Chain A
Amino acid sequence: MTTLGPDRPPSPMRRLAVFLHRHPRLQLRLLLAAPLAWLVLAYFGSLAVLFANAFWRLDSFTGKVLVEPTLANFATLFGTEVYRTLALRTLLMALAVTIACAILAFPVAYYMARIASPRARGVLVVALLMPLWASYLVKVYAWRTMLLGNGVINWLLQPLGLHGPGTGELAMWLVFTYLWLPYMVLPIYVGLERIPGSLLEASADLGARAGFTFRRVVLPLVLPAVVAGSIFTFSLTLGDYITPQLVSNTKLIGNAIYDTLGVPNRPLAAAIATVPVIIIVLYLLAARRTGAFESL
């Protein structure tokens, strides 16, 4: 190629390229500037504005937000029983959904990673990925239709003399478990696949029975993957206000945030929003200790 010859006078672009090549630190700064500026302005800036709002006051006559520092919003948050109930219910729901997902996901992931043939494994990964990318709202809507009095669930259960879960916490739990299940299956599958077969053979050679090997070798190795999956199931449940609204008549903390913002009472909504943030930060700190972040 003629353009590569050294005898051509260097173009400005080329001179810039050479300059950048000699100054890797500058390259790094240029590369990081845009993404970090975006994250800091659009994302962390918004979070900062949100938490500033939590300390501002709402003028109840004009409905305008006044920049006057106050702790009144937090007093309302901690002093009102509804918010305590909602926070506790949301936390318990997130835990119950996470546990249900883990219990359902483990056998599937184990089957995929250790028992299925390579071909069946590929098919199963796709079969579980597809519903993950099927519209969230379509799935919630499908459950809403199925859970109706004259829907599929009651039609299936009627011959057994049973009723569907109705429109309470049980229905919400069922739908959340359904929605977030693939987020749990895939990390556990990847975690199980990474365990070298030689470790399991060594355990067997040393006289361990299958159950013992499972408890003492497989489970400890796959635990970080389970925790990684649980970060998704936990955070997604904490942050959802649409599923509770569509499939049940029970509310979660997210509904309180959305409804309060619509009142409109921006400062109080901001104060309530600190609840899921604190819960997830504590959860992430606990999760980090298990080494789950490497499995994300």
Chain B
Amino acid sequence: MEESRLVRGGLRVATAVVLLFVYLPLVVIVLYAFNESRVQSWPIVNYSLQWFARAAADGTVRQAFVNSILAASGATAIALVLGSMAAFAVQRFAFFGRETVTFLVVLPIALPGVVTGVALSTTFSTLGIDFGLLTIIVGHATFCVVIAYNNVLARLRRTSRSLEEASMDLGADTWQTFRHVFLPSLRTALISGGLLAFALSFDEVIVTNFTAGPGIDTVPLWVLSAIQRPNALPVVNVVATVLIALSVIPVYFAQRIGGGTAGLTR
């Protein structure tokens, strides 16, 4: 089937329009970060760098970044260990209830975020657990596990067992095979899965808003409260610009390592 020139042209224009739609808000917010005025109106009259200095000097912003990094590291660590174990079990063993395990692992991303949030919040308060960084990590880990699981599973499907069998035949035991053959073949999947889980946790707000303790801000929580204070908006623009720049990192690595769309499911 050969598409006609009209169809090709039409599709090219449609793609260009959609890309414009996708990037317009990102460009606008980066431009606003350089806006000299405190008031957000378009078009921008004068440009300035003053808000970058203000943002860098803001202690609450720095603390929010520290909290976000801690939460994302914790959630990523849990996700990598549990996700890899589940992926390995599902890929390398045939057992009764395997379909159920697959379904259960993926369910946290299929259920609406507000439900996960209210469920965790309700449970923590029913059990009398104090809200804080730990509750944030638990909340993030529930859906980060899926990311690690998907990445490791995709890799396991592509790598052949014969490498491990060859290693065993040559006299290596289970541990040596694990360390010298199995782990290296999984390394890039673990890195890209970990990065995507980290990025997802770093960005999460719908569940976090339910599970964070009072007075503990992650970056998205800081942005959420700052948005509602007109005075803080110029600093929000700077933080937003930094976040847009940072989002290149997971995409770059996912693309270089995993290739294609491994990072899609969240």
Contacts and interface: CB of A to CB of B under 8 A. Distances in A.
A296 to B, nearest CB: 7
B145 A136 contact: no
Contacts of A296: 106, 265
Residue from A129, A139, A155, A214 with most neighbouring chain B CB atoms (10 Å): A129
Interface string B181-213: 000000000000000100100010110011000
B121 A49 contact: no
Interface of A: 3-4, 6, 13-14, 17-18, 20-21, 24, 27-28, 31-32, 34-36, 38-39, 42-47, 49-50, 53, 65, 104-105, 107-108, 110-112, 114-115, 124-139, 141-146, 148, 150-152, 155, 178, 181-183, 186-187, 189-190, 200-201, 203-204, 208, 210, 213-214, 217, 231, 235-236, 238-242, 246, 253-254, 257-258, 261, 266, 269-270, 273, 276-277, 280, 284, 296
Contact of A31 (B85, B108, B219, B265): B85
Interface in B49-104: 78, 81-83, 85-86, 88-89, 93, 95, 101, 104
Contacts of B206: 239-242
23 contacts: A6-B171, A20-B174, A21-B174, A28-B93, A47-B115, A108-B14, A129-B261, A131-B23, A136-B220, A137-B224, A137-B227, A142-B25, A146-B25, A146-B28, A152-B28, A178-B25, A181-B22, A239-B116, A240-B206, A258-B114, A266-B122, A273-B118, A276-B114
B244 A145 contact: no
> Which 3 A-B pairs have CB atoms at the shortest separation, nearest pair first?
A239-B112, A142-B25, A17-B174
B120 A31 contact: no
A143 B25 contact: yes
A151 B42 contact: yes
A114 B101 contact: no
Given A183-B264, A189-B261, A284-B110, 11 more contacts: A35-B83, A44-B104, A46-B116, A134-B26, A136-B203, A142-B25, A235-B111, A238-B112, A238-B114, A239-B112, A270-B122
B194 to A, nearest CB: 14
B216 to A, nearest CB: 17
B85 A35 contact: yes
Contact of A231 (B28, B110, B210): B110
Contacts of B34: none
Interface residues of B, number: 98
A138 B243 contact: yes
A-side interface mostly:
helix
A153 to B, nearest CB: 9
A141 B236 contact: yes
A32 B101 contact: yes
A39 to B, nearest CB: 6
A48 to B, nearest CB: 9
Nearest to B236: A141
Residue from B78, B101, B243, B248 with most neighbouring chain A CB atoms (10 Å): B243
Nearest to A129: B251
Residue from B142, B236, B244 with most neighbouring chain A CB atoms (10 Å): B244
Contact of B115 (A104, A138, A231, A276): A276
A125 B260 contact: yes
A117 to B, nearest CB: 12
Contacts, number: 292
B235 to A, nearest CB: 12
A244 to B, nearest CB: 11
Given A111-B14, A136-B220, A31 B125 contact: no
Nearest to A56: B126
A14 B173 contact: yes
Given A130-B251, A151-B42, A190 B122 contact: no
Contacts of B14: 107-108, 111
Contact of B175 (A17, A44, A110, A187): A17
B115 A126 contact: no
B101 A145 contact: no
Nearest to A130: B251
Given A46-B122, A136-B203, A240-B206, A254 B112 contact: yes
Given A39-B105, A143-B25, A246 B227 contact: yes
B86 A42 contact: no
A142 to B, nearest CB: 4
B218 to A, nearest CB: 10
A141 B101 contact: no
Given A47-B119, A50-B123, A242-B224, A235 B26 contact: no
A94 B220 CA distance: 24
Given A21-B174, A183-B264, A131 B26 contact: yes
Contacts of A115: 3, 8, 11-12
A145 B32 contact: yes
Nearest to A90: B112
Interface in B36-57: 40-43
A220 B89 CA distance: 34
Contacts of A114: 3
